[in-house]
Structure 1
Amino acid sequence: MANQHIIDYINEEKTKGVSDDVIIQSLISAGWQTTDISEAFLAVPNPAQELVASDVPTPAITAETAATMPGAMDLIREAIEIFKAHWLQYVGFALLPTIFSFIMGIITVATPGFATLANNQGSASILDLFGPFTLIMLGISLVGGFLSLWASAATMVRIRDREETISFLDIMSRSLKYVIPMFIVSLLMGLITTGGFLLLIIPGIIFSLWFVFGIQVVIFDDERGINALLKSKGYISGNVGVVFGRWFVIVLIYFSVLIGYVFVSGIILNSIPDSDLSKTVRAIIQTPLNAIITILTTIIGVVIFNHIKKT
């Protein structure tokens, strides 16, 4: 028999407009068992989908999706509202890789002998290709890539758990377990889509569309590896036109804003003589733009994914 306390909580949260995913995560965090949560959802109107997804891809509801999926501007507005709720944390996640690169740049410039090491590596023979400089730069690149994946995972976990009051460090801790699964899914996506493009252009495009939600499935459905890709295919099957159409309009809006931004920033930069100051100003102008674009792109992708799941 379903637990009445869980049922009351679900009904209360639903009246606030909280999504089923967030309700489920909150109950799990509170210590409730998944079986109790599933029984409670079955006892309330419009029960959620099965809590624990099987390996079989989720069937797509195709004809109704276009009617229920919000338009591009509504998706952007929804993403902005999500961003505004925890904007400082989102910016912090997005700036992590940039801060790391900045610190590494200072260290390499300030380290005695590093420039000499780089010059020696540049003039070395092919047998010395993997010398100290190459290994150091490879290590920095690997750490930077890890931080980029971690920042992306943290952003999506913050979106998923946006109804909770959680600190920056707690979000980073929660999202750490997704970094390796995200890397594996990204690697599989890259290998499969590249193979498709090598065979013919069309298969590569089809694979890219099928697996567009692979990363979101890792975070929101807790799937791994090929199962995440198969579930993404299940979500996108029959909905390609809807998803592609929304993204196409969003990209057009983005480029319109970008053109205006570049025009204004160009006027500012052209008024400054070419020097270290102009490079600093350029970095100050471009860094916030790149961070906001990264954040909103991630949020919009999650918003579209959640609407596809609900239809």
Structure 2
Amino acid sequence: MIEPKDSLSSDQSFTPPPPPWRQNAYNRPTMPTPPMPPVGGNFSGGSLPGVGDLLSQSWQIFISNAGTYIGIAILPIVIQIIGMVVLFFVDLGGLVGGLLLGGFQSIASSSASFSKITSISSLLLFIAIGLVIAVAHILSQAALIYAAVHREKIIGLGEAFGFASGKLFSFLWVAILSIIIIGGGSFLFIIPGIIFAIWFILAPFVLMGEDARGMAALLKSKEYIRGNGLAVFWRLFAFGLIVGLAFFAVYLGVSIIGGIIIAAIKSSMIKLIAGLIFFFTPFIIQPIVAALNAIYAALIYEHLRAARPASAYTPSVAQKAIFLGIGILGLALPVLGLAGAVGSLFSSYGKFKNSNPSLDLKNFQINANFNSGIYFGNNKNSNNANSANGQSFNNNASNNNASGNKFPDTDKDGLPDNLEAFYKTNPDAVDTDFDGLTDSAEVNSWKTNPINPDTDGDGFRDGDEVKSGYDPLGGGKVQ
């Protein structure tokens, strides 16, 4: 019997080949770990790679597993596009009208009809889609960080999103704590907020790389960055500037070229397809930028971690309480300031109201008219000319004072001294302007100026006009 050439002996093991859909991952060359600086010191500008080296390493790592990185980063964009399409179909009138008109511009213009969605069901659908998109973005960010930190493993989409799902609440908690502390520090004269933002920027990477959660992740990030804040800030700022300019250049180029091509196309259907292609082209760049951003920051985290290991670093309760307290205090100060301002406003209004019980809006208007030289009276005053002596008002004032008015009326003219001061009349004289009407009668009955004997400027004193049966404000005979 002839034995097969490739038969295996009993002590040999057989390893099956990887499935076709994973062969690229198995055959992918392992990226070497970037050289780490000596342990235990600051970088002093030389040990931490420069912006160019970090960008080069980030690009090489991205290319080595581009499918996974793009797949992770593009998922929320796909969900966002699906949500937009769903909302377009909800507003069938705008969408169908745009399709019938036949053109990309018609469909784009139909987006204005989103503002017309007012029904409760449409609003709930809009909120639900927004929440799904938000969760997808958070999961994508967490999965990208996990894939960047654990890039030496063969990571697929399922593993990355599975791990991110398990860390979702921890990831959110780290983000919430960062917002509280950085936001609170920003209200404390801005500078603390900037410093906190630099210190805690690597907290999500600490969470994914070391499973340090909550304040422990934030304070470990601070420990890694301590003494190297400016170096980290410059590298992150330079990355954002370079990537932002590159993205803008690509977007501008696509817009210009797309506009020229679309303008040259005559067919409405082809123009629609071309417009959609150019419209969604920038969305292809976004996953690349997001992946590079995660890898770039992960490289900084790894170099910092190697230079100053903080694996055994355990922040104390006092350290956690101090930073959390600073954040809460910073956020509370604007709220307390606003509450104090509102309380002071109401308190001032209450004191003013209590000190002027007989003052109303009508008197305020009268005073404003006096100061401006314009006087508006009641041309149909119900009181007759016999009340010109003001006697009836004196009686009313006396009754008011007797019933508990705490403000004195020195001249007993029916107008308390505090109102005399308000109207700039003489509290020791019954008739300040000697026009034949008491100050009280002028203010409360005839609405004339108590410090001007001829309010309407017709050459006759107010009191003489009243005694003759005329309106002192120029309204003719008193009816």
Shorter-chain TM-score above 0.5 = yes
Q: Does 1:285 align with 2:281?
A: yes
Cα distance in 2 for partners of 1:194, 1:289 equals 30
Cα deviation for residue 65 of structure 1 reads 4.8
- Aligned 8 A contact 1:80 1:296 in 2: yes
Residue of 65, 70, 73 corresponding to 1:91: 70
Cα deviation for residue 119 of structure 1 reads 6.9
TM-aligned CA distance change 1:288 to 1:178, over 3 Å:
same
**What residue identity is the alignment partner of 1:199?**
L
Residue of 210, 213, 216 corresponding to 1:224: 213
Match of 1:78 in 2: 57
Cα deviation for residue 146 of structure 1 reads 1.2
Cα distance in 2 for partners of 1:302, 1:248 equals 15
Cα deviation for residue 135 of structure 1 reads 2.7
Cα deviation for residue 262 of structure 1 reads 3.5
Higher helix share: 1
Q: Does 1:214 align with 2:203?
A: yes
Cα deviation for residue 247 of structure 1 reads 2.1
Cα deviation for residue 165 of structure 1 reads 2.4
Cα deviation for residue 168 of structure 1 reads 2.1
The TM-score normalised by the length of structure 1 is: 0.71
Give the count of matched residue pairs. Answer: 251
- State which drifts further: 277-286 or 241-250: 277-286
Q: Does 1:245 align with 2:234?
A: yes
Match of 1:184 in 2: 173
Q: Does 1:301 align with 2:281?
A: no
Cα deviation for residue 282 of structure 1 reads 3.4
Cα deviation for residue 184 of structure 1 reads 1.2
Match of 1:201 in 2: 190
Q: Does 1:171 align with 2:167?
A: no
Match of 2:375 in 1: none
Q: How does 1:49-128 map to 2 (within 5 A)?
A: 61-62=41-42, 64-111=43-90, 122=118
Cα deviation for residue 256 of structure 1 reads 4.2
TM-aligned CA distance change 1:19 to 1:173, over 3 Å:
farther
**What residue identity is the alignment partner of 2:291?**
I
Structure 1 segments, 4+ long, off by >6 Å, are 112-115, 117-120
1:41-86 residue CA offsets vs partner (Å, 9 max, x unmatched): xxxxx9xx9xxxxxxxxxx732x35221111111011111110111
**What residue identity is the alignment partner of 1:299?**
I
**What residue identity is the alignment partner of 2:121?**
P
Between the aligned residues of both structures, percent identity stands at 26
- Aligned 8 A contact 1:96 1:151 in 2: yes
Cα deviation for residue 111 of structure 1 reads 4.4
- Aligned 8 A contact 1:156 1:219 in 2: yes
**What residue identity is the alignment partner of 2:295?**
I
Structure 2 residues without counterparts, runs of 5 or longer: 1-30, 95-112, 265-270, 308-479
Match of 1:31 in 2: none
**What residue identity is the alignment partner of 1:282?**
F
- Aligned 8 A contact 2:145 2:204 in 1: no
Residue of 132, 144, 148 corresponding to 1:143: 132
Q: Secondary structure at the match of 1:66?
A: coil
TM-aligned CA distance change 1:265 to 1:120, over 3 Å:
closer
Cα deviation for residue 160 of structure 1 reads 2.7
Cα deviation for residue 136 of structure 1 reads 2.4
Cα deviation for residue 278 of structure 1 reads 6.0
Cα distance in 2 for partners of 1:76, 1:236 equals 20
Match of 2:383 in 1: none
Cα distance in 1 for partners of 2:115, 2:235 equals 49
Q: Secondary structure at the match of 1:67?
A: coil
- Aligned 8 A contact 1:118 1:133 in 2: no
Cα distance in 2 for partners of 1:300, 1:119 equals 40
Cα distance in 2 for partners of 1:177, 1:309 equals 24
The TM-score normalised by the length of structure 2 is: 0.48
Cα distance in 2 for partners of 1:227, 1:81 equals 32
Cα deviation for residue 174 of structure 1 reads 2.2
Structure 1 residues without counterparts, runs of 5 or longer: 1-15, 21-45, 50-59, 125-130
- Aligned 8 A contact 2:202 2:221 in 1: yes
Cα distance in 2 for partners of 1:121, 1:270 equals 31
Match of 2:468 in 1: none
Match of 1:24 in 2: none
With CA pairs under 8 Å and 6+ residues apart, which has the higher RCO, 1 or 2?
Answer: 1
Cα deviation for residue 112 of structure 1 reads 7.6
- Aligned 8 A contact 2:149 2:209 in 1: yes
Q: Does 1:153 align with 2:132?
A: no
TM-aligned CA distance change 1:133 to 1:199, over 3 Å:
farther
- Aligned 8 A contact 1:83 1:90 in 2: yes
1:96-118 residue CA offsets vs partner (Å, 9 max, x unmatched): 11111222222333348798x97
Cα deviation for residue 137 of structure 1 reads 1.9
- State which drifts further: 288-297 or 267-276: 267-276
Cα distance in 2 for partners of 1:19, 1:289 equals 26
**What residue identity is the alignment partner of 1:280?**
L
Cα deviation for residue 141 of structure 1 reads 1.5
Q: Secondary structure at the match of 1:224?
A: coil
Larger-gyration structure (1/2): 2
Cα distance in 2 for partners of 1:98, 1:193 equals 28
**What residue identity is the alignment partner of 2:160?**
I
Cα distance in 2 for partners of 1:114, 1:108 equals 12
